[in-house]
Structures are given as structure tokens and as C-alpha cells.
Amino acid sequence: MNPFAWSGGKFLLFYAVVAVAVIAFVAWRARGRSDSRVNVTFMTSDPYRIAYLRGDSAEVIRVSVFNLVDRGLIELREDGLLVTVRKDAESLVRRAIDRAVLAACFAGTAPEALVANEALLREARAYGRDLEREGLLPDAPTRRSRLAWLVGALAVLVGVAGVKAVVALAQGRTNLVFLAILTVIACLFAARASFRRLTATGKDMLDDLKVLTMRLLGRAGTLKPGGASNEALLLAATYGIWALPAGAFPFVETLYPRPRSDGGGDSGSSGSDSGDSSCGGGGGCGGCGSD
Amino acid sequence: MDQDPLPPDVARSLDLFVREAQAALGEDLVAAILFGSAAEGRLRATSDVNVMLVLASLPPGRLDALREPLRLAHATIRLEAMLVLESELAEAAEAFAVKFADIAVRHRLLAGRDVMAALKPTPAAMRHRLKQILLNFILRTRERYALQSLREEQVPRLLADCAAPLRAAAEILMQLEGRAAASPKEALETLARESGADRWTQALAHLSAARESAVLPSGAGAPAVLALLDLAEALRSRANALPERP
């Protein structure tokens, strides 16, 4: 019953089972437990929090720009620049990110430049910190804990494969390619499972918000521009600006053309600012939109 | 009254709204009452959700605290809120007698005490308001028919909009005649049958279809609107014939 003495195919099957168990364990640890104490009104009272939870800092800026254009506080000129239309515009908005966007547009700015504007990104990242405080995104200790569990998982995955490699080599067998490939794949999956962008609370919150706005999404085609209600903002924050009907909000496509790969609902969740909520152990971990 | 469960998103939004209203208004919130089609369990995808908040008082600032929850509920489930002081209730019930008579029959208490139980508009006010609603319906529908019926695809919406006032009027008319109907829809069907045998059967079927699917067979919508105008005239004659009791 010593698995390390098993032949190639049988051991690979054994290794695959071990890998699945390790990855499942890491994913379970990374998800954590959902905390139902976080009130949904914490999110709905500032829809930019929803935009950040679903996307990233750049998405918060996109939603803010959309909101301000819709309210008529920013205008998209024919030369393609966004310009703040009123000198007192900053006094008409309540949120810091809106004020920052208005300030950035006084001299005229291209929409794409806004989502790369460091001052705006800094303002938007404050939402990330809010969400971390509420346990909706992993905070530093959580990320460290995830990293520790990942290191353990990698040690198991690489260790088991290494022992088998040593045993095989001692028996004069050198065909270890499949085992090496399987080990690399298992390690990549373990890393991906470790660095989920959202916590369990965050994922449940996003699901709850989608239930809450189901009807709003269903009647998106009837929304009217002008910012008289918060319907368009809530929809844009929850599902992305491209969920808005192009007929009523034609400027959305001009501001930020829909990426070709974007099939529908959610927008801009591909993590353009890696400094926000990455895995603590460096880049390249976990797709932002994968939760 | 029917207590069919609400769709989960509506139930969630309503629950959230009521909790936020309680937090914002505190002891001043006497009652939160759901009325209209949601209270009846017949909510459609396009329906508004009607809620009445009865308040003991509304000190300055309290309304501000209600802004965020109300805007959210309006955005998510099209919640329309009637904010009425308890001291205004009796007067409001007389002024909007048909609406309040309907609420008295079809409502769900979401929080607080059921102030509707003791509230009943006088028959005179109901009669007066009933006539007003029917005449208003007739005048508005004539104009909308003239404006919209040349565009066939617009007619189902026009027809669907006929349902609420006609059904509410029929239910109140039956009440004033000392009878009860299971629902406003049934009241309208009963009165249509009594007043004209099968004369309005098809129009009422098209009315239901327009509300269900917003699609009607080609050429069916405009005659149905005219038939409903005819039915409204018949109801108005019947309302005019009601004995003038206080």
C-alpha cells in the first residue's frame, strides 16, 4: 500500500486525488466564513462601494464619470475631452471621488486618462480600504494567512511529487514529464484558489445586491437619463456601465467603448490597479472577476 | 385576504425599506402598509410596489433620513410611498375615497398597527370619488385613444392602463351596492356581465392579455379600448343611479 511504489499511471491518479483535496482545502480556507452582520445598506448608501467590490479602482472612476455626465455636471465635448460645466460643480456632489473627478475635468481630460489618474485612483482605493474593514475584501492579515496556507499546500504538492521523483529515479525510471506537468498545474490551481479577490462575505454581499437589483436590471431599458433618480447609478455600479441601455445613455459607449470580449452584464472587472487588493505575496494571483 | 408570498427580490427590498424606515422614523412610524397588487400577491414585473407609511408626526429632518432608503427601494422595486400623518388619515380617506376603500380591502401590514381596520370612507365620499374616477377615465382615455391608436403597437399599453381605474371603480361600485367581489378584476367582470351580457367579454380578455404580455392580435386593441370606454359609460350610469345615502 505504499503509493510511492505504484506504477506511473496509478501514481498519477493518486497524485491527482491528493491535488484536488489540497486545492479544495486551500479554496475553503481562502473563502473563509460569511459574516452576515454587514448590512447591505452600507453598500447601497454609496454605490461606488458596489462598483469597487465588483470591479476595482478604475471601475469606480468609470462609474463616477458616467454618473457625473448623466447628471450634466461633466460634458463630453466634440474633441473627446470631458469638461466640468459649472464652476460650483464640486459643491453639488457629496462624495470625494465625484469631487476629485470634477476637479480633474476642469481643464478638460480624456476619459481614458481619468482611469489612469493617480489622484483619482488614490481616492478610489479608499473604497477598497472600507471594504476590507467590513470584511468584504481580504485585509492584510487575511492575505498573509492565505499565503501561509498556500505555502503549506505547495509544500505538500511539490513534496509528494518530489518523493515520487526520487523513488522513480532510484529505480532507474526517468519519465517524469507527466508528473512535472501535473505538479505545475496543481500548484497554479492552488495559487488561484488561494487568492480569491472577494471574501465569503464579499461574495455573499455581491449575490445579495444582485437579488436586490434583479428587477432594476429587468427594466433597464426603461431608465431615463438625467440623474433624477439613483437608478442608473445603482445599475452601473452593480452590473457595469455597459448594462445601461445604449438608446437612453449613448454617451457610455463614447466614454468607454465596451471591450470586445465583454459579452454583456458586468464590466471592467479585470483589475487594472494591482495595488488594491492583490494577494500580498506579489502579482499575478487570482482573477479579479473570478469570484 | 390573499397572502401569497412576494417575489424574493421584492420581499428583500421591502424588508430592508421597512427596517430603514423604522430606524429613521423611530416612534413616529405608526404603520407601514403594503397595498395594491403586491398586497394581493399579483405583482407583475412592471408593477409598482405601493406602501403607505403612517406617521405620528414628521419633525424637520426626519424626512431627510428617509431619503436614501426610499431612493433605493424606488430604484430596486419601484416602491411608491405615500407618507401620511395619522392626523391626516380621515381627511385623506374622504378625499381619495376609492383608493382608501381599496386599501382597506387589500393591504398587508408590514409594521406597526393596522390603522386601516378602523378607517372607512363614507359612502357619500366613495360615490363622489367613484363618479370622478370614471369621468376622468373616460375623458383621458378618449384623448389617448385619439392620440395613440393609429400606432398599433402603442395600443396594448393604453389598454393595460385602463385596467386599474376600471377594476377599482367596479369593486367600489359593488361595495356601494352592498355586495363584495373576490378581487377588483372579478368585480369588473361581474358588472360587465350584468350590464351587457357578452358585450364586453372579448374586450376584457384583451385587457388581461395586454397586461400579461403587452401583445395583442393585430387590429384587436383599438376596438377593445372603445369597448372599455363604453363599459365605463355603463358603470358611470350605474354609479349615477346609486341612491343618495349619506
Q: Does any domain span residue A273?
A: no
| pLDDT recorded at residue A277 | 38
Distance CA A193, CA B1 (A): 51
Which of B13, B46, B68 lies closest to A212 in CB terms? B13
Tell me: the pLDDT tens digits for B85-143? 999 999 999 888 888 888 888 899 999 999 987 788 888 988 998 999 999 999 999 99
> How many contacts, defined by CB atoms under 8 Å, are there between A and B?
45
| pLDDT recorded at residue B132 | 92
| Amino acid identity at A66 | F
For chain A, what is the HEC assignment? CCHHHCCHHHHHHHHHHHHHHHHHHHHHHHHCCCCCCCCHHHHHCCHHHHHHHHCCHHHHHHHHHHHHHHCCCEEECCCCCEEECCCCHHHHCCCHHHHHHHHHHCCCECHHHHCCCHHHHHHHHHHHHHHHHCCCCCCHHHHHHHHHHHHHHHHHHHHHHHHHHHHHHHCCCCCCHHHHHHHHHHHHHHHHHHCCCCCHHHHHHHHHHHHHCHHHHHCHHHCCCCCCCCHHHHHHHHHCHHHCCCCCCCHHHHHCCCCCCCCCCCCCCCCCCCCCCCCCCCCCCCCHHHC
A48 and A26 in one domain?
A: no
Q: Which residues of B touch A229 (CB under 8 A)?
A: 71, 74-75
A115 and A218 in one domain?
A: yes
| pLDDT recorded at residue A272 | 37
Q: Which residues of B touch A230 (CB under 8 A)?
A: 71-72, 75
Residue, of B21 and B246, whose pLDDT is higher: B21
Q: Does any domain span residue A165?
A: yes
Interfacial residues of B (vs A; Cβ cutoff 8 Å): 8-10, 12-13, 16, 20, 45-46, 68-69, 71-72, 74-78
Q: Does any domain span residue A267?
A: no
Phi, then psi, of B33 in degrees rounded to 5: -125, 130
A142 and A129 in one domain?
A: no
Distance CA A31, CA A136 (A): 11
- B72 contacts A230? CB cut-off 8 A: yes
Residue B83 bridge partners (DSSP): B53
A125 and A58 in one domain?
A: yes
Nearest Cα residue to A181 out of A152, A160, A161, A151 = A161
B241 pLDDT exceeds 80? yes
A217 and A128 in one domain?
A: yes
- Closest approach of chain B CAs to the CA of A215, in angstroms? 6
A54 and A120 in one domain?
A: yes
Q: Does any domain span residue A266?
A: no
**For testing contact with chain B, the best of A95, A215, A230, A234 (most B CBs within 10 A):** A215
A157 and A117 in one domain?
A: no
10 Å CB burial of residue B201 (0-12, 13-18, 19+) is: middle
| pLDDT recorded at residue A100 | 96
| pLDDT recorded at residue A269 | 44
Phi, then psi, of A135 in degrees rounded to 5: 80, 15
Residue of A nearest to B49 (CA): A215
End-to-end, the C-alpha distance of chain B in Å comes to 28
Nearest Cα residue to B15 out of B95, B142, B111 = B111
A105 and A28 in one domain?
A: no
Q: Above pLDDT 70, what percent of chain B?
A: 98
A125 and A55 in one domain?
A: yes
Q: Does any domain span residue A16?
A: yes
Q: Above pLDDT 90, what percent of chain B?
A: 59
- B78 contacts A230? CB cut-off 8 A: no
Q: Does any domain span residue A269?
A: no
> Three cell numbers at B200?
364586453
Domain containing A125: what range? 40-133+213-256
- Closest approach of chain B CAs to the CA of A232, in angstroms? 9
Q: Which residues of B touch A231 (CB under 8 A)?
A: 74-75
CB B64 within 8 Å of CB B37: no
| pLDDT recorded at residue B246 | 53
Tell me: the pLDDT tens digits for B74-85? 999 999 999 999
| pLDDT recorded at residue A290 | 34
| pLDDT recorded at residue B245 | 62
A121 and A53 in one domain?
A: yes
Residue B53 bridge partners (DSSP): B32, B83
Q: Does any domain span residue A287?
A: no
Distance CA A39, CA B23 (A): 13
- B75 contacts A216? CB cut-off 8 A: yes
Give the largest Cα separation in chain B, rounded.
56
CB B72 within 8 Å of CB B16: yes
Tell me: the pLDDT tens digits for B144-190? 999 988 888 889 989 999 998 999 899 989 989 999 888 889 999 99
- B69 contacts A215? CB cut-off 8 A: no
Tell me: the pLDDT tens digits for B2-43? 466 888 889 999 999 999 999 999 999 999 999 988 988 878
- A219 contacts B45? CB cut-off 8 A: yes
Q: Does A35 touch chain B (CB under 8 A)?
A: no
Phi, then psi, of B51 in degrees rounded to 5: -130, 140
pLDDT 10s digit of each residue in chain A, 291 long? 788 888 888 899 999 999 999 999 999 888 877 776 778 889 999 999 999 999 999 999 999 999 999 999 999 998 999 999 988 998 999 999 999 999 999 999 999 999 999 999 999 999 999 999 999 999 999 999 999 999 999 999 999 999 999 998 888 888 889 999 999 999 999 999 988 899 999 999 999 999 999 999 998 988 989 988 899 999 999 999 999 999 999 999 999 998 876 554 444 444 333 333 333 333 333 333 333
- Closest approach of chain A CAs to the CA of B199, in angstroms? 36
> Three cell numbers at A64?
463616477
Q: Does any domain span residue A199?
A: no
| pLDDT recorded at residue A287 | 32
Total domain count for chain A? 2
Q: Which residues of A185-214 are buried (b: 16+ CB within 10 A; e: fewer)?
A: ebbebbbbbbbbbbbbbbbbbbebbebbbb
- B76 contacts A215? CB cut-off 8 A: yes
Q: Does A20 touch chain B (CB under 8 A)?
A: no
Q: Which residues of B touch A41 (CB under 8 A)?
A: 16, 20, 68-69, 72
| pLDDT recorded at residue A262 | 55
- B8 contacts A41? CB cut-off 8 A: no
Decide: helix, strand or coil at residue B242: coil
> Three cell numbers at A215?
428587477
A129 and A144 in one domain?
A: no
Q: Which residues of A79-96 are buried (b: 16+ CB within 10 A; e: fewer)?
A: eeebebeeeebbeebebe
A146 and A235 in one domain?
A: no
Distance CA A164, CA A5 (A): 8
